[in-house]
Structure 1
Amino acid sequence: MRGRGGVLATALVVVLLAWLTVGTTTAHAESAPITVDVKLDLKADGVLAVTTTTTVPDGSNAVGRVPLQVPVEANRTQHFGVSDISTTGGASASVQGDALMISAPAGSSTVTYSVRGSVADSPGLQQFTWVLAAGWSAPIEKLSGTFTSPSAKPDSPICAYGQIGVRRLCSLTQTDLNGSVSFRNDNLAPADVAVFSVLLPTGTAAATAQFTPTVTASETTPASDTAGLIAVLAAAVVALVLVVLAWLRRRADQNAVTAGATVQLLAPHDGGVAFASPDGVLPCQIGTATTGHPRPSDFGATILDLAVRNYLWLAERQRSSGAMDFQISRRAPLGRETTVFERAVVEAILPDDRESVSAYELTQSSRPIDLSAAKTALTASATGWRRSRRVELAGYVVLGLGAAAAVVLALLETGALRGVAVAVLGGGVAAAGRLLPDRTTQGSRLALAVGGMRRYLAVTNPDSISPAARPVLFARAIPYAHAFGDLHNWLDRWGGAGPVDWYRAAGDRPLPAGLPTLAALLDGVAAQSQAGQSG
């Protein structure tokens, strides 16, 4: 077994460190002395039954604080747990934080409770440790008590008391024949701490003591903590900057919808004039560029645009029933000047190199035409204008990784703030990604220009256009006017604009009076196709 000197050293270390734990925060002047009797009964299951009887002079009361986390030898902290508290004689007791607080009124009162964590295994033996008295608000005239356990052969019992600079053995520590240990000491100052420790044979009681490494102020790593705090602060600043920039970007995008002047759609070209849309945007792309998803009107606008550009030919005709119908025919091969979307639209209505189709066939078909390939191509064509949600998703991933790292590092008791910093940065990225508008910077510029284009088409007076440029602007703007929902107004303002070689009207109908009807039929075909695909 460990020698008496080792136990004494342990007890004295506990006295010193427990004194530091308890502190001297309570004023003790003019306090009348009290007596304290402590009975310790260690059970085989490792639970210590403690009965503390306090006698306080009339007209006074006393308060004691028993620490439940006590630094011991080998730079460790021993942790105790208290339960089953009961009192008599007007006393009160409760666990507050890491201490058991006892309040004793005048007269004799008793506090009874159970303790776990007082028995620790050592090579070839067990060691029992408990704080008898600590942090009482009054001096103790007499401290007495007994210790009993399942063993009849306790060894090296030590009762020690003191404070910084003064560490002494109690005046009496005696082992009886039945293995009971008695202890006593008189005249303890309010600041004194008294600790009882004894060695027991292996297996006397269940070892319930729990220890953690003791970290003192001098042993902490300020540099690491400072680095962690700096990391959190830096991450918070970066996250805030990202959120502010995203908010400014969102506000600029919202302004792009309403701000901006009208744009000119005619530009000089080879001695004449040519139609030039903003950023080369096609009528079929107006919906995707502004709303983020294809619209049925994109389909009708595409057919009209391909006709205006002489790839398709449109003709009015009457069915046998007398109802108006429209014929859509191939006119020129679809070369590289056309987009993947435009070619997919033509292939959908004129599959397998079919030359022509009627609007009636398209609307009355038992199966909606398949525009899925065209829709995919149209969405892909707007990639530069629409933003994906990858930034927001990446932010959530970083946030999750940072939170997980913070938890793991906290359990390991090292560098948890760095995980918090990563989580904060991830949260900032996610928030910024969520605030960013759906349009890219290029898309916002396009939305601004498209708004100006719409205003141009709404206010342009045909009489203000030169005679040579009128046919160009009138025809090329038709599909854009349909994409904006202004086709009727556009045609009414131009009146008799003269013949066009891509559209043939029936009889003496004004040219091209039937376009709104055809466009509405085509939009209906596209809407039916979308409904069929979503269903």
Structure 2
Amino acid sequence: MWEGTRNQGGTVRRRRRSGWAAVLAVIGVVFAGAGAGPAGADPSGVGVDTVLDLQDDGSLAVTTVITAPPGRAIAQRLPLSVPVEGNRTQHFTVTGTRAENGSVSVSDGALQVSAPGGTTKVTYTVRGTVADGPELQQFTWPIAAGYTVDLDTVTMRFASPTAVPDSPLCGIGQVGERRMCTLTQTDASGVVTAQQNGLPQGRVAVFTTLLPAGTVAADARFTATAAPAPERDTGGLIALSLAAVLAVALAGYGYVRRRSDAAAAHSAGATADLLVPGGNGEIAFASPDGVLPGQIGTLLDGRLRPTDVGATVLDLAVRGYLWLAALPDGDFQISRRVPLDGAVTPAERVVVDALLPHGAETTTVSELTGGARPLDPAPIVAAVPAATAERGWLRAAPRSPLLVPAIAVAAGGAIATLVCGFLGAGVLWAAAALVLGLGLVAAALLWPRRTASGSRLAAGLGGMRQYLIATNVGSLPDGQRDVLFERAIPYTHAFGDLRGWLATWGSVPSAPLDWYRAPQGPVAGLATLAAVLDGAVAQALAAQRD
């Protein structure tokens, strides 16, 4: 693996190699900043030769010879405190500095060397290069670092009191990179030599080796390195906080709006008199906000109810546009009575055309339930909710139009959070987009389909139903009784109260209704007709879903 290395240390030594490699990597990162610059392709003519002599007392005698072309000034700055593995900083001490043809000093926590050109010889003594391990000692020293020029060659010779240094390693370190020197070898006497051909400015050559325990006095000094405090992204924190507040507010408002809408649908609003003065002194029937009986189920459920079709048929019959009759065989007849005019809404026309397609004049309920003229509910399913939405009581779409943009914001925020987390930047801003998107999604999902006016009308319909249930039939004048009875029939069917309504009024219809005939009596079988028609619609809706 490493050229010229010897492995005599066994299992412990093999485990320790990875630790020394980590030291090399860390020191390489530190010294990479000591002299940053681009690596030159042309030879500089500069070489560095270093002799390391480790003494019994743990001191390291260093002799470095810098050779450069005459007049080529060179400087070196070698930091004496470097981070190493385990969140520690290793501290070196340099004394006895001497220089020939140049200068050397220790200042600002670093060894400072200045060479004017030619041959410069620097000598000094280093303490703190040897650290004790469980069964071995570790020696570490950067043999070339912090030079202001590219080096053509770096050579080294290391001697120590032991003849068996283990795993000598000379490596070139740089941010994100670690590789071997050109050559590292150990002779029979334990002297290690190494050579690196070319060392670009900004890189560092580090020599490390293992020594038998107790080879020298270990005096390496370490201090704990405080982990750098993470940068505080104040703007990101503010954005995330605001996004969280907005998300909670949006979701909360959607929840409150949904609760109030649900409460309105199950409450009874102010009860208004359904009978109002009409033209020519007559009495007229007025529903809350002009709602038609065929719109009640859609308004309350958000989708078409089968009773919406039955209520529409009854309402058009009461208003004189359709004729209904109970047949002797138990079937029921639905026929056109007069042409539909401008008082009939487009949705009501769709219902009539679905029951009597292609201008047909009459049909029977049995034909609608799978006979010659089966009912197609698709146009009704589209028309009735659309008409209710046009009145401003429902949103046109079942889901909020904000749902798709909200999901897009949340998905974009999630992707951005993952990408920023991988890159290690801007995570809080991306998370803010994600949180805001989730709040929008929650609000869109919670938002009721009924509008505010639709919620008020739902409460008004509750009041209308209570009014019809609580009305004292005997207290009404004859004219008002007839109007209320007939006009309320389709509404009570929409509420599910038609049988009770007919039973409560008893024999009020003293004469046959002009829009319905039954052999057994004026209203006999009317509730059955409505129920059978609802069943036909429900059957058609189920077949459409299948």
TM bin, normalised by shorter chain, reads 0.5 to 0.7
| TM-aligned CA distance change 1:463 to 1:360, over 3 Å | same
Could you tell me which of 253, 256, 260 is aligned with 1:245?
253
Deviation at 1:116, TM superposition (A): 12
Find the counterpart in structure 2 of residue 303 from structure 1: 313
Letter in 1 for 2:347: F
Deviations 1:187-220 (A, max 9, x none): 6352389xxxxxxxxxxxxxxxxxxxxx987xx9
Question: Counterpart amino acid of 1:431?
Answer: A
Indicate which of 396, 404, 408 corresponds to 1:393. 404
- For the pair 1:272 / 2:282, whether they are aligned, the reply is yes
Query: What is the alpha-carbon distance in structure 2 between the residues aligned to residue 531 and residue 116 of structure 1?
Result: 81
Matches of 1:53 and 1:347, distance apart in 2: 98
The amino acid across from 2:514 in the alignment is W
Q: Does 1:377 align with 2:383?
A: yes
Q: Does 1:484 align with 2:484?
A: no
The equivalent position to 1:467 in structure 2, one of 451, 474, 478, is: 478
Structure 1 residues 4 and 117: CA distance shift in structure 2, 3 A: closer
Q: Secondary structure at the match of 1:468?
A: helix
In 2: Cα distance, 1:73 partner to 1:266 partner = 102
Contact persistence 1:368–1:525 (CA under 8 A): no
Structure 1 match to 2:124: none
From 269, 294, 312, the equivalent of 2:322 is 312
CA distance in 2, matches of 1:513, 1:20: 96
Correspondence 1:252-263 to 2 at 5 A: 252-261=260-269, 263=271
Q: 2:361 aligns with which of 350, 355, 358?
A: 355
Q: Which has the larger radius of gyration?
A: 2
Following superposition of structure 1 onto structure 2, how do residues 156-171 of structure 1 map, counting pairs within 5 Å?
none
Q: Return the offset for 1:365.
A: 0.7
Number of the residue aligned with 2:338: 332
**One-letter code aligned to 1:227:** G
How much is the aligned-residue C-alpha RMSD, in angstroms? 4.6
Structure 1 residues 486 and 260: CA distance shift in structure 2, 3 A: closer
Q: Work out the CA distance in 2 between the residues paired with 1:413 and 1:283.
A: 61
The CA deviation at 1:255 is: 1.8
Q: Which amino acid in 2 is paired with 1:345?
A: V
Tell me by how many angstroms 1:273 deviates: 2.6
SS of the residue corresponding to residue 221 of structure 2 reads coil
Structure 2 distance, partners of 1:187, 1:532, is 90
Structure 1 gaps, min length 5: 27-32, 39-50, 56-63, 75-111, 130-144, 157-169, 175-183, 194-214
Match of 2:371 in 1: 365
Alignment match, 2:460:
449
- Inter-CA distance 118–126: structure 2 relative to 1 (3 Å threshold): closer
Q: Hey, what does 1:109 align to over in structure 2?
A: none
Q: Shift of the alpha carbon at 1:394?
A: 2.5
Give how far 1:258 is off: 3.0
Query: Counterparts of 1:311 and 1:457 in 2: how far apart (Å)?
Result: 24
CA–CA distance in structure 2, aligned partners of residues 521 and 113 of structure 1: 96
1:287 paired with 2:274, answer no
1:434 to 422, 445, 454: 445
User: How big is the shift at 1:289?
Assistant: 0.9
CA spacing shift, 1:406–1:284, aligned 2, 3 Å: same
Q: CA deviation at 1:493?
A: 0.9
Cα distance in 2, alignment partners of residues 519 and 232 from structure 1: 58
Deviates more, 1:485-494 or 1:272-281: 272-281
Give deviations 1:267-286, integer Å, cap 9, x for gaps: 22233332111222211111
What residue in structure 2 maps to residue 494 of structure 1? Answer: 505
Structure 1 pair 350–35 and aligned structure 2 pair: CA distance change class (3 A): closer
Cα distance change of structure 1 residues 154 and 482 upon mapping to structure 2, 3 Å threshold:
same
Instruction: Report the equivalent of 1:228.
Output: 236
How many Å apart are 1:72 and its aligned residue?
Answer: 9.0
* 1:317 to 1:216, Cα distance in 2 relative to 1, 3 A: closer
How many angstroms does 1:444 deviate by?
A: 1.6
- Match of 1:469, SS? helix
Aligned to 2:83: 18
Question: What secondary structure sits across from 1:304 in the alignment?
Answer: helix
Letter in 2 for 1:516: A
Residue 407 in 1 paired to residue 418 in 2? yes
Query: Aligned pair in 2 of structure 1 residues 398, 10: CA closer, same or farther (>3 Å)?
Result: farther
Output the CA distance in 2 between the equivalents of 1:230 and 1:483.
53
| Offset of residue 260 of structure 1 | 3.1
Superposed displacement of residue 434, structure 1: 2.2
Greater shift in the superposed pair: 277-286 or 4-13: 4-13
- Distance in 2 (CA, whole Å) between partners of 1:5 and 1:216 is 35
Shift of 1:356: 1.9
TM-score of the pair, normalised by structure 1: 0.63
CA-to-aligned-CA distance 1:443-471 (integer Å, 9 cap, x gap): 22122111112212222121232322211
C-alpha deviation, 1:405, in angstroms = 2.0
Range moving further from structure 2, 412-421 or 392-401:
412-421
Report the Cα offset of residue 340 of structure 1: 2.1
Question: Deviation per CA, 1:109-131, whole angstroms, max 9, x where unpaired?
Answer: xxx99999955599xx97869xx
SS in 1 for 2:460: helix
Residues 457 and 398 of structure 1, relative CA distance in 2, 3 Å threshold? same
- SS of equivalent residue, structure 1 residue 188: coil
1:364-400 C-alpha deviation (Å, 9 max, x unpaired):
5156221211111012123233342333333221111
Identity %: 40
1:269 aligned partner, one-letter code: G
Matched to 1:340, the amino acid is: P
For residues 73 and 242 of structure 1, do their structure 2 counterparts lie closer, same or farther at Cα, with a shift above 3 Å needed?
farther
Alpha-carbon contact 2:261-2:450 (below 8 Å) kept:
yes
Asked if residue 505 in structure 1 is aligned to residue 517 in structure 2, the reply is yes
Number of residue pairs aligned between Structure 1 and Structure 2: 399
Q: Which amino acid aligns with 1:376?
A: A
Deviation at 1:246? 1.6
Q: Is the 8 A contact 1:496 1:510 kept in 2?
A: no
8 A contact 2:407–2:437 mirrored in 1:
yes
What SS does structure 2 have at the residue aligned with 1:328? strand
Amino acid in structure 2 at the alignment position of 1:229: L
C-alpha distance in 1 between matches for 2:169 and 2:297? 74
- CA, structure 1 residues 396+295, in 2 after alignment: closer, same or farther (shift >3 Å)? same
Give the residue type in structure 1 aligned to 2:542: A
- Amino acid of the structure 2 residue aligned with 1:503: W
- Which residue pairs with 2:221 in the alignment? 190
What is the Cα deviation at residue 355 of structure 1?
1.8
For residues 187 and 333 of structure 1, the distance between their equivalents in structure 2, rounded to whole angstroms, comes to 112
